[in-house]
Structure 1
């Protein structure tokens, strides 16, 4: 890298980040000048956070290829690191974060047709599980806009933030920003974009790239006259995903004419794109497939594939994850691939090391998939495998569990305890300030348990090296996180039990209370839909491991919204039981999120878009006649907000 000097505007952005930089600011500048091998994991995370924040605030410090190289390095060193499953936040200096009306997740990625085929196999399996006919499965293909992600609920416009909390940027509409394709407000997620042709012909000489313009539109300060003109002329728009150009057809057509369909969509809009998005349209199937914390399983982005190289392995080093699973990382002879120097790559698990003979001197085929992730495609020359014997974090002797080597020291392994704390606050989603850097500092000060953090006083934070104001804010945030209502299933998922993501936690709590769940047996869980024997065994064992800490944390008085029990939702008990309900427009009697939550409690299935299987479309303010007429044409009952509230009030 060339010499890096941070300006005042960049320093304001960095000040918003959850990082602690020791020494003068030139210490940070010097980080960017080090070779990859001289950068510690801690400094690598600082580089990534700073680079992402500056890019998204239009004050970029490094180019995309360099950022991708740093991401690849983190994947090599710690494939399970929480930063890799975190939605990269949009940073605004001026604003505080607020809860989004609806989660905005990232999109899973595929870099080959074979990966797309595997995705279709997954949704076909899911369809078979719930009795959805193959003839009913349609796929929608759209351009993947490369703009500034935002959410419009009809009243406010929000940045995507971290996917759960964003920042209010309604001022962009107050500056005259229009909705693309003459659309109405309140259409949910989308991107702020500018036409390529307009940028190239009018603005490219004045601005380095289109992101400079996108950032200016949402900033509090008055925009440049040339940007205001672009807004007034409709060249800068908010483009809701629901209005974007698309190809929709039976999934078999994708498998037959994949290249043709992708090529057509890739060139269908006059905006910057970085791929195409494929998604299942069947609402029942989407509901069943659900989502991870990072992405929807029913959706995938196709991006450009990568080149490959034959590389010599120097050493295989172990990395311990939050779950205790130890991942083998191949240290490689530095190799230039797709514009980046690669020196590490993950070897999926230690059984692959053992069976394929991966060790010093092995020759592997390396692929830099999507110009980001270095991946070992195959082993071309085998040697004696290099296996780990002890945990690199705590020194405990490792044991085999299926294909993996695992550290059994769940309570005192630093890698597991620190990452468990990070996972808790990230999953909880209602607290600011407790990111990896703060957790690392607390862990170094001897704090190893969740309940210990909540019991800390301001003077204790100060004694750990936090400033007075920061310490006060952290104590206040801990108080807020106990008072703000969160779902009981999210609270349970935050403890990180294996095979207990949010979806499975919600399923379990439909049948058990938070207390009775710890008494459930393997036999009890196997009876529930979606829990095979292996999953049930893992859940029961995992719950036993966290029970003591769970009860201590719960006793701190969290405000939990209780998941309704299946027995409380007997058919006929509510007018909307078993019906598929879609809410649209701006609601006046409560937020759309609250109405969706209440509908689920009454036994309804809430969907995001209208299909032929939708039972009810509930309309708030500012809903276009075309949307209402299209729903009625499909046989969907349309109710106003007040008509709906009257309906559910009836026994």
Structure 2
């Protein structure tokens, strides 16, 4: 009988899952769940943390804005954070937001709202500076990144034809703009360009992109401007700033000024007097989804007045003066014809529904995730059922429910999980307290394929060119076999057929022993491609220790934990020798993660792999973070928005000085550090008599130690 997980275990599991999907979405552009599913996970976590406030930590996904910027471009701070928006999914939630806005402003003031389509693309900030003859010229383009720091993609932005390279003095005058200003907007890939891009990819033997949003994000981050130019991206502007502050007195005036300055502004925008009119706009906008030629997933509603926006302010992660109304997921009905089982990098077995082809949200869907055995039981679904399929965030489709049929003679069969791994025939294991079945064979070919993809991916060892088609060939599959077996497409399944040629790699370490003559035996690999890949493989040896740790694929060890392990131990040897107690002393490592790390390094096969990677010259040491002692024994709680430091930066400074950062206030709290919009934590600190510091006082404490308190 399985033991029910504790609230702490539930919270940690949700955090791990959310961090994983943030990394996929914000860093790798490879989301695996819909926006609606992500929001449900986040709301579950928020609810649990509200019920157990003592378990809230500063690094919880509920306390942050978004993911980290990816490498390959220069990182540059934003003039002001590019925050995400809170969401509303129905009219009641939208009315409740409107009432909160109304209640926060004087009753004597009228409130207007601006409604704009929520474009499904990539947020980009454009910075303009003085040009010749009184003009303004484009000087920088930044992606959203983690909201605080973006990636400089100026060269690529310049190839987007709807982005003005300069704005004439006459247009500046007409728009009422200075020579230096900032524009924020959305980069999108029109549907026609998306179709053309996928036709080209298929012709080149590459897997088609999942949807226009991911394609736009991947394109703007490519290191080849020529490719960006060919993709025909578009840019829609919606914000104007000067030195990080709103430039004009109203959002409606901002849109007018952007149009006057020559920027593309979406024509579907309207200023309205109340929430009922907002709802009217939404009802008109939703049917447009199929006719616009680009993807939208909702409507953004903003308080029009800039002065009112300032007074309404921000929460920790979103403005109070704006909200995104998300359209319902697009759905269709089809037949469940079969269930296939894919094996992931950690051995997890995922059931995937094979569907009769159906058109949903602009894409023909033939596969949908079923997640796990518990989800199948909850749905009560069987092979042969008529089912409703949904594409909420237009990423991976999912079955939402079984459609009742009267008088159907279609045979129906219970879905049975295999007793053995479908690839290596090892008996599957389901650990106590878990919902997933796993293949525990570390040498399983399906696991190896996923390990190779993970190891070579951009956020890990960054081996350009070592994608899924080439990985399949290295494991002995032809391209034709891979394409035939790649029926799961966007789910990233490993081929199910047996290799028909000799495999060139049997572990990730074998990547480093590949020779040019080996690569030239593969399909569609010529001299230039082989040389380029070998150069990328050699360059990957320079990746830092945290990337190597991440590349090992240790269960529960993601990007943040890998960095914490490298910082704390300073070498692979020290990490291997660390006990479970040593590991759990690190903030990002709990008992579950510590157990997984020890389990990994206690396995001889894994130690042999690490030994080979050392022999091949990968980085096995890092500069160990030396913690100070000025704040040793002190516990801090951070709340509100500080003038200069982000929460992560403040946390880093406190921990580097030997202090500890907690997520909740108690009698044991030494100090609460409060910024603007500090909430209930500040109230609790005052009620308990806990000293409260502003940013300046925190910096003095960091410099001089506890004696200044």
Q: Classify the TM-score, shorter chain.
A: 0.5 to 0.7
Q: Offset at 1:329?
A: 1.7
Deviations 1:549-605 (A, max 9, x none): 12321343345773644x6332359xxx99999879xxxxxxxx9999999967799
Q: Kindly indicate whether the alpha-carbon contact (under 8 Å) linking 1:313 and 1:363 is maintained by their aligned counterparts in 2.
A: yes
Q: Offset at 1:457?
A: 3.2
Deviations 1:53-90 (A, max 9, x none): xxxxxxxxxxxxxxxxxxxxxxxxxxxx99x9466989
Q: Kindly indicate whether the alpha-carbon contact (under 8 Å) linking 1:362 and 1:379 is maintained by their aligned counterparts in 2.
A: yes
Q: Kindly indicate whether the alpha-carbon contact (under 8 Å) linking 2:184 and 2:239 is maintained by their aligned counterparts in 1.
A: no
Q: Which residue of 2 aligns with 1:292?
A: none
Q: Offset at 1:176?
A: 1.2
Q: Kindly indicate whether the alpha-carbon contact (under 8 Å) linking 1:489 and 1:509 is maintained by their aligned counterparts in 2.
A: yes
Q: Kindly indicate whether the alpha-carbon contact (under 8 Å) linking 2:33 and 2:396 is maintained by their aligned counterparts in 1.
A: no
Q: Kindly indicate whether the alpha-carbon contact (under 8 Å) linking 1:366 and 1:377 is maintained by their aligned counterparts in 2.
A: yes
Aligned pairs (5 A) from 1:177-196: 191=185
Distance 2:620 2:642 in 1: 25
Q: Which residue of 1 aligns with 2:141?
A: 157
Distance 1:182 1:170 in 2: 25
Tell me, yes or no, if structure 1 residue 506 matches structure 2 residue 432.
no
Q: Which residue of 2 aligns with 1:12?
A: none
Tell me, yes or no, if structure 1 residue 303 matches structure 2 residue 326.
yes
Tell me, yes or no, if structure 1 residue 556 matches structure 2 residue 588.
no
Q: Offset at 1:302?
A: 6.3
Deviations 1:134-193 (A, max 9, x none): 9x9899637755455446699743568999987541773892169999699798x95456
Distance 1:181 1:349 in 2: 57
Aligned pairs (5 A) from 1:337-486: 337=360, 341-353=364-376, 358-362=381-385, 364-379=387-402, 384-401=414-431, 402-411=434-443, 413-426=444-457, 427-428=459-460, 430-444=462-476, 445-465=503-523, 466-483=525-542, 486=544
Q: Offset at 1:409?
A: 1.9
Q: List runs of 5+ in structure 2 lacking aligned partners.
A: 1-19, 65-82, 87-115, 129-138, 189-211, 252-274, 286-293, 302-312, 405-411, 477-502, 662-671, 677-692, 698-702, 705-709
Q: Kindly indicate whether the alpha-carbon contact (under 8 Å) linking 1:317 and 1:330 is maintained by their aligned counterparts in 2.
A: yes
> Do the aligned partners of residues 599 and 108 (structure 1) sit closer, same or farther apart at CA in structure 2, a change above 3 Å counting?
farther
State TM-score, norm by structure 1: 0.53
Q: Offset at 1:541?
A: 1.5
Tell me, yes or no, if structure 1 residue 320 matches structure 2 residue 380.
no
Distance 1:507 1:303 in 2: 36
Q: Offset at 1:420?
A: 0.5
Q: Kindly indicate whether the alpha-carbon contact (under 8 Å) linking 1:324 and 1:406 is maintained by their aligned counterparts in 2.
A: yes
Q: Offset at 1:241?
A: 13
Q: Offset at 1:388?
A: 1.7
Deviations 1:195-249 (A, max 9, x none): xxxxxxxxxxxxxx9x99x99xx9989xx9xx9xx99xx9798889976899xxx
Q: Offset at 1:349?
A: 0.7
> Do the aligned partners of residues 516 and 277 (structure 1) sit closer, same or farther apart at CA in structure 2, a change above 3 Å counting?
farther
SS of residue matched to 1:475: helix
Q: Kindly indicate whether the alpha-carbon contact (under 8 Å) linking 2:347 and 2:439 is maintained by their aligned counterparts in 1.
A: yes
Q: Which residue of 1 aligns with 2:354?
A: 331
Given candidates 131, 147, 155, the residue that maps to 1:169 is 155
Distance 2:612 2:553 in 1: 16
Given candidates 534, 551, 571, the residue that maps to 2:630 is 571
> Do the aligned partners of residues 112 and 266 (structure 1) sit closer, same or farther apart at CA in structure 2, a change above 3 Å counting?
farther
> Do the aligned partners of residues 302 and 460 (structure 1) sit closer, same or farther apart at CA in structure 2, a change above 3 Å counting?
farther
> Do the aligned partners of residues 544 and 176 (structure 1) sit closer, same or farther apart at CA in structure 2, a change above 3 Å counting?
farther
> Do the aligned partners of residues 153 and 598 (structure 1) sit closer, same or farther apart at CA in structure 2, a change above 3 Å counting?
farther
Tell me, yes or no, if structure 1 residue 544 matches structure 2 residue 602.
yes
Q: Kindly indicate whether the alpha-carbon contact (under 8 Å) linking 2:463 and 2:533 is maintained by their aligned counterparts in 1.
A: no
Aligned residue pair count:
462
SS of residue matched to 2:85: strand
Q: Which residue of 2 aligns with 1:45?
A: none
> Do the aligned partners of residues 377 and 347 (structure 1) sit closer, same or farther apart at CA in structure 2, a change above 3 Å counting?
same
Aligned pairs (5 A) from 1:522-537: 522-529=580-587, 531-537=589-595
Aligned pairs (5 A) from 1:244-259: none
Q: Which residue of 1 aligns with 2:85?
A: 141
Given candidates 547, 564, 578, the residue that maps to 1:490 is 547
Structure with max Cα Rg: 2
Distance 2:364 2:295 in 1: 27
Distance 2:349 2:343 in 1: 4
SS of residue matched to 2:475: helix
> Do the aligned partners of residues 558 and 110 (structure 1) sit closer, same or farther apart at CA in structure 2, a change above 3 Å counting?
same
Distance 1:241 1:328 in 2: 51
Distance 2:592 2:615 in 1: 31
Q: Kindly indicate whether the alpha-carbon contact (under 8 Å) linking 2:335 and 2:387 is maintained by their aligned counterparts in 1.
A: yes
> Do the aligned partners of residues 357 and 443 (structure 1) sit closer, same or farther apart at CA in structure 2, a change above 3 Å counting?
same
SS of residue matched to 1:319: strand
Q: Which residue of 1 aligns with 2:46?
A: 120
Q: Kindly indicate whether the alpha-carbon contact (under 8 Å) linking 1:329 and 1:346 is maintained by their aligned counterparts in 2.
A: yes
SS of residue matched to 2:419: coil
Deviations 1:346-402 (A, max 9, x none): 222124446765433445454333455432234577963422233222333323333
> Do the aligned partners of residues 537 and 171 (structure 1) sit closer, same or farther apart at CA in structure 2, a change above 3 Å counting?
closer
Distance 1:182 1:498 in 2: 52
SS of residue matched to 1:515: helix
State TM-score, norm by structure 2: 0.49
Q: Offset at 1:499?
A: 0.4
